[in-house]
Chain A
Amino acid sequence: MKISAIVTLKKDVLDPQGKVVNQTLKNMGYNNIIDVRQGKYFEIELNESNKEKAKKIVEDICKKLLTNSIIEDYKINI
Chain B
Amino acid sequence: MKSSVIVFPGSNCDRDVAVALEKFQIKSQMVWHNETNLPKSDLVVLPGGFSYGDYLRTGCIASKSKIIDDIIKHANNGGLVLGICNGFQILIETGLLPGVLLRNKKLRFISKNVFLKVENTQNRFCTNYKKKNIIELIIAHNEGNYFASSKTLENLEEKKLIAFKYCDKNGNVNEKSNPNGSSNNIAGILNNKKNILGLMPHPERLIDPILSGSDGSIMFESLTKLN
Contacts and interface: CB of A to CB of B under 8 A. Distances in A.
Nearest to B54: A17
A16 B55 contact: yes
Interface in B40-91: 52-53, 55-56, 61, 64, 66
Interface string A18-29: 001100100110
Interface residues of B, number: 7
A60 B122 CA distance: 59
Interface of B (DSSP majority class): loop
Contacts of A24: 61, 64
Contacts of A28: 64
Contact of A17 (B56, B64, B66): B56
Interface string A21-45: 1001001100000000010000000
Nearest to B52: A20
Contacts of A21: 55-56, 61
Interface residues of A, number: 8
A20 B64 contact: no
A28 B66 CA distance: 9
Contacts of B52: 20
Contacts of B56: 17, 20-21, 38
Contacts of A16: 53, 55
A70 B223 CA distance: 54
Contacts of B61: 20-21, 24
A17 B10 CA distance: 14
A20 B52 CA distance: 8
B107 to A, nearest CB: 17
Contacts of B66: 27
Query: 7 nearest interchain CB pairs?
Result: A17-B55, A20-B55, A24-B64, A24-B61, A20-B61, A20-B52, A28-B64
5 contacts: A16-B53, A20-B61, A21-B55, A24-B64, A27-B66
Interface of A: 16-17, 20-21, 24, 27-28, 38
Given A20-B56, A27-B66, 14 more contacts: A16-B53, A16-B55, A17-B53, A17-B55, A17-B56, A20-B52, A20-B53, A20-B61, A21-B55, A21-B61, A24-B61, A27-B64, A28-B64, A38-B56
